[in-house]
Structure 1
């Protein structure tokens, strides 16, 4: 498993060096940035929180003084509310911009030998994940055919959680799982990954299934609730 910092010197898009003889690109793709903003940067949840905070501020500003009724709009000092709303909008804009930059700088590649993840906005990293070092995989579906494909590595292979973010499976910190995030046609990409893994491990059986109840199964597991490749 290898990480490089060679985005500016890529031999081909998403590939830090020329592919060796016998290896070729099968598929390439990037995250859908709007869905990445929702599912990785949690823009929707944060927007709901900001809306709630604004509502609380409005109630505080218009709340009646002792012995009087609710304040009229003309009697309310709206400047603090406008300042807060501007800051909230700025924060959401930053999150959306970061999601767009993250998606536009990311390129996932499947070759007939490995998965290559080129990620990073300022500091670009390229992770090479040979199929022989991938122990399991799962698909988490979203709407409109989009989904995440998480890759479980062998225990001795570990990539830092912070190095992968946001291209990692949530809540797997001690053994991070590199994840192809918010892919269009994720089911088809997962099936392609299944075929490539089988081709690399000719004669071995592969199960590509759940590693969590919330994850959909690509191939029905047989007495294997972890969905491990074996």
Structure 2
């Protein structure tokens, strides 16, 4: 019988039912192809093996016929296809097992393929959110945390982090569709959770009594 690893979730992406008054504003996943390009650098990997194949063909061309020199690049191209296929598989699995959730009180990130964890980030922990918008509307929203007691592992959260920001690690909603719209939802939710302090009335000074 097939088994759903996330069947224990009362709501997809959340380990438990939201408390009373909390509402889900948006849920989404990374776009698998964009994740493969930006996080796994699949184009760079493809280019690397193509360059290896060209280098091999050029070296063979000095002492073999052109056809043999060209065929000499095939093993490198096959290795490149295998490597890119594995990266695509990782990207698809990461996209399918990830759920980003924005509520009116927090950002929740269910991440991880082999070891699944859920990050709950209340808005009082979030100092800023930076949008990296890409062509086609996809983008990444990186969250800067202000709670000094919150330390996240870069390796544990990868690839759902801002690239090369390790100290401190910035969790990120990576490669999501319609990222600009999602950023507006997040901005409104954060804004509604900022406490507004009422100005305190200034003490009234007694009227001056003229000197006699």
TM-score, with structure 2 as normaliser: 0.85
Q: Number of aligned pairs?
A: 192
- Partner residue, 1:101: 93
Equivalent residue of 2:101, what SS? strand
> Offset of 1:25 from its aligned partner?
0.8
Equivalent residue of 2:164, what SS? coil
Aligned-partner Cα distance in 1 for 2:173–2:69: 49
Aligned-partner Cα distance in 2 for 1:75–1:89: 21
Equivalent residue of 2:136, what SS? helix
- Partner residue, 2:163: 170
Equivalent residue of 1:157, what SS? coil
Gap regions ≥5 residues in structure 1? 1-5, 65-70, 205-230
Please point out which of 123, 130, 136 is paired with 1:138.
Answer: 130
> Offset of 1:74 from its aligned partner?
5.2
Instruction: Output aligned runs, 1:79-228, within 5 Å.
Output: 81-154=73-146, 155-203=148-196
| Cα 1:202–1:125 shift into 2, 3 Å | same
Bigger share in strand: 2
* Bigger Cα displacement from structure 2, 80-89 vs 101-110: 80-89
Cα-Cα RMSD = 1.7
- Partner residue, 2:210: none
1:10-57 deviation digits (Å, cap 9, x = unpaired): 111001001111111110011111000000000011111111111001
Aligned-partner Cα distance in 2 for 1:142–1:63: 44
Q: Is the 8 A contact 2:54 2:73 kept in 1?
A: no
* Bigger Cα displacement from structure 2, 38-47 vs 151-160: 151-160
Aligned-partner Cα distance in 2 for 1:190–1:74: 54
Aligned-partner Cα distance in 2 for 1:75–1:54: 13
Equivalent residue of 1:103, what SS? helix
Equivalent residue of 1:9, what SS? coil
TM-score, with structure 1 as normaliser: 0.79
Task: Check if 1:37 corresponds to 2:36.
Answer: yes
| Cα 1:52–1:196 shift into 2, 3 Å | same
> Offset of 1:122 from its aligned partner?
1.3
Structure 1 runs, 4 residues or longer, greater than 3 Å off: 73-78
Equivalent residue of 1:172, what SS? strand
> Offset of 1:83 from its aligned partner?
2.6
